[in-house]
């Protein structure tokens, strides 16, 4: 690959890292959710509509996307958080499916099957890294906070967390809100990088590959999803040369191998600590 291709690939890696952080934000609180794809879709089409029809500046539309994503996150949380693990995961997948049906049928707003242009000058390194950095900063600050500890507790065992006076529902609501904001911003950036969005831009494929990136990188530290997303965006590009259309087979197999042999992902502080061999008691992340 030449330099320009790498530039593009890495910019998309930055956007997928934001999507990955969006999945991570709810996974941190013990909720496996593909809703970020839906948040991204809503924000992206809102972005396209706001810049084209309303004539909003791209930055204002980005803010709109972030706020809208957050609100959508809260709304979704109220809708789905009462469900148990499997059902919750599937409900968020159902949300992604409904999203596509809505995109296809709301032609005036989304352009229908044909899709729509999304003009805007946010598709630059500045906005990509800026948003990613802001999201990482928020997560890093939250990590050691009361919320961070509560989130980890809820993830390990909601019933135990509840007996310690933590409300799993409230913690997960915060997780979903963060997930909504990150997903919304990621959707806007994706739209302005692609310049063109359609019903298949934000669909199951994006959700599953992003989830794969989170698992690969490690879902127990905010750095994991970012590294996973970069690897997972760059790897298919590297494999496309020698393997052609079969690059996604490697993606799939990699996913199985990782979850079987490296269940905590590449960024696993617990393993690092164990490897360093200090005699300290190992605290579960």
Partner 1 sequence: MVFLEAAVVTLVIQQLVNGLALGAVYALFGVGFALILTKMGILNVAHGTFATWGALVAYFAVAELGLPFPLALAAGVLAAGIIGVLTDLVAFEPLRRRGAGTFAPIISSIGMWIVLLTVAQAVGGGSATSFPDGAIPAGPIRLGGLVILPAQLLNIAAALLVAFGLHLALARTRFGAAVRAISADPRSATIVGVNAARTLRVVAFTAAAIAGLAGVLAGLSSNNVSFDLGEALLLKGFAAVVVGGYGDIRGAALAGFLIGILEVVSAQYISSGFRDAITFGVLLVILVARPQGMFGERRLVRA
For partner 1, the binding residues (CB under 8 A) are 32, 79-80, 82-87, 89-91, 93-95, 97-98, 101-102, 104-105, 157-160, 162-163, 208, 211-212, 215, 245-246, 248-249, 251-256, 259-260, 263
C-beta closer to partner 1: residue 28 or 127? 28
C-beta closer to partner 1: residue 238 or 253? 253
Tokens found for residue 122: 């946010």
State the minimum distance, in angstroms, from the CB of residue 2 to partner 1: 27
Provide the 10 A C-beta neighbour count for residue 89. Answer: 18
State the minimum distance, in angstroms, from the CB of residue 251 to partner 1: 6
If residue 169 lies in a helix (H) or strand (E), which one and from where to where?
A: helix 168-194
State the minimum distance, in angstroms, from the CB of residue 245 to partner 1: 7
Q: Is the dihedral of CA 264, 40, 197, 134 positive or negative?
A: negative
Q: In which residue are the tokens 């490296």 written?
A: 262
Cross-strand pairs, 116: 197
Q: How far apart are CA 34 and CA 204, in angstroms?
A: 8
State the minimum distance, in angstroms, from the CB of residue 127 to partner 1: 30
C-beta closer to partner 1: residue 256 or 275? 256
- For the chain, helix (H) and strand (E) counts, in that order, are 13, 2
C-beta closer to partner 1: residue 88 or 118? 88
Cα 257 from chain centre: 22
State the minimum distance, in angstroms, from the CB of residue 80 to partner 1: 7
């Amino acid at each position: 690959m030449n330099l320009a291709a790498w530039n593009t690939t890495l910019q998309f890696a930055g956007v997928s890292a934001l999507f990955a952080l969006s999945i991570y934000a709810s996974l941190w609180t013990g909720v496996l959710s593909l809703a970020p794809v839906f948040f991204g879709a809503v924000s992206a089409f809102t972005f396209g509509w706001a810049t084209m029809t309303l004539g909003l500046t791209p930055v204002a539309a980005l803010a709109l996307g972030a706020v809208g994503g957050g609100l959508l996150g809260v709304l979704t949380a109220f809708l789905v958080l009462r469900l148990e693990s499997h059902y919750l995961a599937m409900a968020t997948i159902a949300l992604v499916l409904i999203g596509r049906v809505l995109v296809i049928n709301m032609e005036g707003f989304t352009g229908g099957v044909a899709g729509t242009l999304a003009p805007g000058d946010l598709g630059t390194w500045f906005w990509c890294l800026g948003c990613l950095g802001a999201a990482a900063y928020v997560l890093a600050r939250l990590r050691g906070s009361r919320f961070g500890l509560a989130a980890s507790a809820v993830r390990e065992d909601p019933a135990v967390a509840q007996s310690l006076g933590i409300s799993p529902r409230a913690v997960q609501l915060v997780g979903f809100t963060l997930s909504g904001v990150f997903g919304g911003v990621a959707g806007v950036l994706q739209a302005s990088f692609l310049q063109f969005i359609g019903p298949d831009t934000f669909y199951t494929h994006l959700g599953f590959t992003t989830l794969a990136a989170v698992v690969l990188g490690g879902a127990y530290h905010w750095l994991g999803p970012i590294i996973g997303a970069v690897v997972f965006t760059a790897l298919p590009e590297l494999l496309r040369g020698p393997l052609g259309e079969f690059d996604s087979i490697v993606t799939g197999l990699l996913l199985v191998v990782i979850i079987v042999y490296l269940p905590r992902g590449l960024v696993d502080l617990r393993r690092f600590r164990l490897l360093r061999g200090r005699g300290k008691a190992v605290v579960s992340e």
